[in-house]
Amino acid sequence: MSLARFWSSLKLLHFSKPAADRPLYQAVRGRVIQSVLELRIGTGERSERLIGWLREQGSEGTIRYAAVDPFEAGGAGHLGLKEFHSRLGRLGARPLPVPLAGSLAMALTRVAHTIGAVDLLVLDGSEAELNDPAVLHVLSRLVREDSLVLTRNEASGALEVQPAARFAEAGDPQRRAAA
């Protein structure tokens, strides 16, 4: 590893801002990710850094990147649909913007029908929102056994890795009964 690459990795994993996102970069280190679902992208900076980091980790080809966000409707500080598509397209990703206009379950259903199960889920939503039975049912269709799932800890504000089985089994009564 070159000194420049080592320094870049060190900065991202240990000194990047916001610090609450560092667990995301640490969790995907060494993994090849080809599909991502991110809930609430905000300004899109995390998405751009994540795609760059995934490229460094060996993810080649097109990365399918679904984002569920209010986009322009979210007001100041939210990336627009066109800007999201343009930025991620330049990075070699295939963006799938899904506006969060109705319920979260409806938006996630669109992702499930379009790209199916994904390798990485970054769920930046409240516990109450993510524990909604309709949302859990759809998430069970988006998660595989080897999927990497991160959620926001409401107390600390940091992203935390969650067991994929928590979401895979939660929405599927047959999987719960078998476990």
Q: Would you state the pLDDT for residue 19?
A: 84
E-assigned strands of the chain? 35-39, 63-69, 93-99, 118-123, 143-152, 159-162
For the full predicted model, state whether its pTM sits above 0.85: yes
- CA 55, CA 176: separation in Å to the nearest integer? 36
What pLDDT digit, counting tens, does each position of 89-139 carry? 999 999 999 999 889 999 999 999 999 999 999 999 889 999 999 999 999
Domains detected in the chain = 22-178 (3.40.50.150)
Question: Is residue 114 a contact partner of residue 84, using CB atoms and an 8 Å limit?
Answer: no
Q: Cα angle vertex 46, ends 78, 95, to 5°?
A: 75
- Residue of 61 and 172 predicted with greater confidence: 61
What pLDDT digit, counting tens, does each position of 138-156 carry? 999 999 999 999 999 999 9
E-assigned strands of 28-142? 35-39, 63-69, 93-99, 118-123
pLDDT grade for 178, boundaries at 50, 70 and 90: very low
Owner of token pair 């397209």: 89
